[in-house]
């Protein structure tokens, strides 16, 4: 019997003509079922989208269905038909019995696939991209989760939920200037949103997908989206590492490197990439069946097991992080996709950047860092080895990165295009955001950094138990009076090494304890460079925010910035005033302390003036100004500026002057000798 082409088949458009079986997948907005098309007696997959839960992204859904029903390519998943059933949209499509590559990896290949498997999969995906690009489409969500395999090893690229048409005009054209896709796979130009982007964005995602298939997970996959953004923008592009990825060929490494070039113009087109010699390693569909599908449980069964595993992990994570922000761990497990949350979500996400994901990401970082050392593969992309890239990457990968915030701050100041600024252009920013943000003329709004800092500090303060010992150790080296003020700076905000002895004793020429205190305060200086000036109440504008927010895919608890959170208060002595985040109760001890010191200084000054009036001219023989200053400061510290009251006292004081003068002479002589010796060595 002649097989009917799917496009010629008439699939019924009524729910009662289908029998839903088990669940075989779920995504951001949909659940996918294996189903039977009763009239045709054919197994199909039905994607059920709850329109009430789609965040009003009906346009995206319409686009997906439209694209799916128009495409006709063996490597693209088509839609047979679609219809509404209650408040749900049903999309009927071919059933891909192997499921997605991501599912296969999760259930049987957690360390990734072998190279010939990857070459075979990617070659088919590339063919799909060649077709899409030639027809003016950008897929925008290429990733292992969207590469589906059939029982016979056939490969189809799925999920056109965020695809865009290059020939669109008006609103649809504008959608290409929006921020869609999945952060880990997203090209830097899509994140930056400076000049728009084109189909080369898919080539970047393909490169990331190659790494995903090689390692079992995408680079940075365990970081929250905000951090993924910053790392993608500021780090060297990820790649295969010579050390870690010894099992992969040079041509594979090269192919990945050609895709992951930050400048889209330097990336190959899909057509050109398809000719890369790496794809010579690609095999047949049969090969895929034997190498990865054979022995796998049914898709439904695998999906059920994965769900159970996810649920267990969720319970474990909940127990681990119960005391921390209630971040939806499930979003991480699923893999974050199609993020449609706004800037507030990002800020909240950034606030949650903590070191709980260090272990896994040490690996990612390691890959990225080590990769920079190599030279042959990177010959393909000189930007990888540019000094800036190396510097920023090393900086990002440094130990300070452990604190997330430092990383964030560093990137905000060092990255030429401020990611947050870029992000602002890409998100729906609520009215409250617009009102609150006043530009500081540096292309970056202070309120963003400010809130990130506050929230981050709060999130990190929750590690107080962990940081406490460090804090008390550091505090003990400070003058006693400084300790309460020092604690106010929320030590966890600052990298350990900012408390270097150099900085702590930075003002050692001056003997007042409050100077050390100032020096400590200045450590937070860079954090406030871009702070906006707000009200003088010391209470943040958004102090009342304290709610569990459900936005897009993320459920976050916004940081409690109410006045009771005074431990996060920040003092800014360098500009002479408290930061807008300082609350009265927190700053009071500092003010009292300063007042106390000022009184002591004032009394001392009065005594000094009196003494100078009495003794003017008596020190005339000490001609050198420097020596005078030295002596006076010594005398000051020894309480000798009080006029001598007996002959013996005068005699002793005179001897002391002579001795000090002699010490000064010897010190100068020693210095001269040192300089001379040094010159001899150099010459």
Ligand X SMILES: Nc1ncnc2c1ncn2[C@@H]1O[C@H](COP(=O)(O)OP(=O)(O)OP(=O)(O)O)[C@@H](O)[C@H]1O
User: Which residues sit in the known binding site?
Assistant: 47
Residue 567 has φ and ψ, to the nearest 5°, of: -65, -15
Closest CB to ligand X among residues 15, 622: 15
32 in contact with ligand X (CB under 6 A): yes
Lookup result for tokens 């057509």: 271
Closest CB to ligand X among residues 26, 634: 26
Rounded-to-integer distance, Cα 307 and Cα 316, Å: 14
CA end-to-end span of the chain, whole Å?
96
155 in contact with ligand X (CB under 6 A): no
Contact 119, 283 (CB under 8 A): yes
24 in contact with ligand X (CB under 6 A): yes
**CB 408, min distance to ligand X, A:** 26
**CB 46, min distance to ligand X, A:** 9
Range in contact with ligand X (rule: CB under 6 A) among 20-28, 543-551, 597-605, 666-674? 20-28
What single-letter DSSP state applies at residue 386? S
CA 530 to chain centroid: 19
139 in contact with ligand X (CB under 6 A): no
Rounded-to-integer distance, Cα 519 and Cα 611, Å: 31
CA 141 to chain centroid: 20
Site string for ligand X, 89-128 (x = CB under 6 A): ----xxxx--xx--x-------------------------
Non-local (6+) Cβ contacts of 487 within 8 A are 471, 475, 567
Here the tokens at position 25 are 């997948």
Q: Can you tell me which of 18, 30, 541, 572 binds ligand X, judged by CB under 6 A? A: 30
Q: Can you tell me which of 211, 338, 343, 586 binds ligand X, judged by CB under 6 A? A: 338
Site string for ligand X, 46-85 (x = CB under 6 A): -x-----------------------------x--------
Of the candidates 26, 57, 72, 141, the residue annotated as catalytic is 141
- Helices marked H in 398-544: 405-414, 419-424, 431-436, 446-461, 464-476, 482-488, 501-504, 513-521, 525-528
Closest CB to ligand X among residues 51, 584: 51
146 in contact with ligand X (CB under 6 A): yes
Number of residues that bind ligand X (CB under 6 A): 26
Closest CB to ligand X among residues 26, 496: 26
Binding positions for ligand X, 159-188, rule CB under 6 A: 159, 161
Assess whether 141 carries a catalytic annotation: yes
Here the tokens at position 594 are 């300063």
Here the tokens at position 106 are 């999760």
208 in contact with ligand X (CB under 6 A): no
Helix (H, G, I), strand (E, B) or coil at 528: helix
Q: How many CA atoms lie within 13 A of 181 on its CB side?
A: 32
**CB 448, min distance to ligand X, A:** 28
Rounded-to-integer distance, Cα 35 and Cα 48, Å: 11
Range in contact with ligand X (rule: CB under 6 A) among 155-163, 308-316, 421-429, 644-652? 155-163
558 in contact with ligand X (CB under 6 A): no
Q: Can you tell me which of 48, 128, 158, 256 binds ligand X, judged by CB under 6 A? A: 158
Question: Torsion-angle region of residue 490: left (phi > 0), alpha (psi -120 to 50) or beta?
Answer: left
| Binding-site residue positions for ATP | 47
Binding-site ranges for ligand X (CB under 6 A): 24-30, 32, 45, 47, 77, 93-96, 99-100, 103, 145-146, 148, 158-159, 161, 337-338
Active site residues: 141
């Amino acid at each position: 019997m002649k097989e009917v082409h799917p496009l010629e088949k008439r699939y019924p458009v009524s729910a009662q003509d289908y029998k839903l079986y088990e669940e075989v997948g779920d995504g951001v907005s949909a659940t996918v079922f294996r189903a039977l098309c009763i009239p045709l007696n054919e197994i199909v997959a039905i994607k059920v989208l709850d329109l009430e839960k789609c965040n009003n992204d009906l346009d995206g859904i319409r686009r997906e269905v439209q694209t799916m029903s128009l495409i006709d390519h063996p490597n693209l998943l088509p839609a047979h038909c679609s219809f509404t059933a209650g408040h749900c949209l049903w999309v009927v499509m071919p059933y891909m019995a192997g499921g997605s590559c991501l599912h296969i990896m999760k259930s049987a290949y957690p360390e990734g696939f072998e190279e010939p498997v990857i070459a075979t999969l990617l070659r088919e995906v590339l063919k799909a991209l060649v077709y899409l690009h030639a027809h003016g489409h950008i897929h925008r969500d290429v990733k292992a989760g969207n590469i589906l395999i059939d029982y016979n090893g056939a490969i189809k690229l799925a999920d056109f939920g965020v695809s865009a048409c290059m020939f669109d005009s008006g609103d649809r054209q504008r959608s290409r200037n929006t921020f869609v896709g999945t952060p880990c796979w997203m090209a830097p130009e899509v994140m930056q949103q400076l000049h728009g982007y084109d189909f080369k964005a898919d080539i970047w995602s393909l490169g990331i997908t190659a790494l995903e298939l090689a390692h079992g997970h995408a680079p940075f996959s365990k970081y929250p989206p905000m951090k993924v953004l910053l790392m993608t923008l500021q780090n060297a592009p990820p790649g295969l590492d010579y050390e870690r990825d010894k099992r992969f060929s040079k041509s594979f490494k090269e192919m990945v490197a050609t895709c992951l070039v930050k400048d889209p113009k330097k990336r190959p087109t899909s057509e050109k990439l398809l000719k890369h010699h790496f794809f010579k390693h690609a095999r047949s569909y049969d090969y895929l069946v034997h190498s990865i599908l054979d022995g796998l449980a049914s898709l439904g069964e695998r999906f059920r097991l994965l769900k159970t595993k996810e649920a267990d992990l969720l319970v474990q994570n909940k127990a681990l992080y119960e005391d921390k922000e209630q971040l939806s761990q499930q979003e991480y497990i699923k893999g974050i996709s199609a993020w449609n949350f706004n800037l507030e979500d990002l800020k909240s996400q950034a606030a949650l950047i903590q070191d709980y994901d260090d272990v896994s990401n040490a690996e990612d970082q390691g890959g990225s860092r080590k990769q920079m050392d190599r030279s042959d593969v990177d010959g393909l992309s000189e930007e990888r080895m540019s000094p800036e890239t190396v510097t920023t990457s090393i900086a990002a990968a440094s130990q300070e990165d452990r604190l997330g915030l430092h990383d964030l701050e560093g990137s905000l100041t060092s990255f030429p295009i401020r990611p947050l600024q870029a992000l602002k252009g890409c998100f729906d920013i609520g009215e409250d955001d617009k009102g609150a943000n006043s530009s500081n003329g540096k292309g970056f709004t202070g309120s963003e950094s400010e809130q990130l800092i506050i929230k981050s500090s709060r999130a990190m303060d929750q590690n107080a138990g962990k940081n406490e010992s460090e804090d008390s150790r550091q505090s003990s080296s400070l003058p006693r009076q400084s300790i309460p003020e020092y604690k106010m700076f929320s030590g966890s905000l600052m990298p350990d090494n900012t408390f270097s002895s150099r900085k702590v004793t930075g003002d050692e020429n001056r003997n007042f304890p409050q100077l050390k205190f100032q020096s400590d305060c200045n450590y937070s200086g860079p954090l406030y460079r871009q702070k906006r000036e707000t009200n003088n109440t010391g209470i943040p504008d958004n102090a009342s925010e304290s709610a569990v927010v459900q936005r897009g895919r993320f459920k976050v608890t916004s940081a409690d910035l109410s006045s009771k959170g005074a431990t996060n208060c920040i003092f800014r002595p360098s500009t002479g005033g408290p930061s807008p985040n300082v609350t009265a109760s927190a700053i009071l001890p500092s003010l009292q302390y300063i007042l106390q010191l000022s009184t002591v200084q004032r009394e001392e000054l009065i005594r000094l003036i009196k003494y100078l009036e009495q003794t003017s001219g008596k020190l005339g023989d000490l001609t050198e100004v420097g020596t005078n200053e030295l002596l006076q400061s010594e005398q000051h510290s020894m309480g000798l500026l009080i006029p001598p009251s007996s002959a013996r006292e005068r005699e002793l004081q005179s001897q002391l002057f002579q001795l000090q003068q002699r010490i000064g002479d010897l010190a100068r002589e020693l210095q001269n000798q040192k300089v001379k010796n040094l010159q001899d060595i150099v010459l």
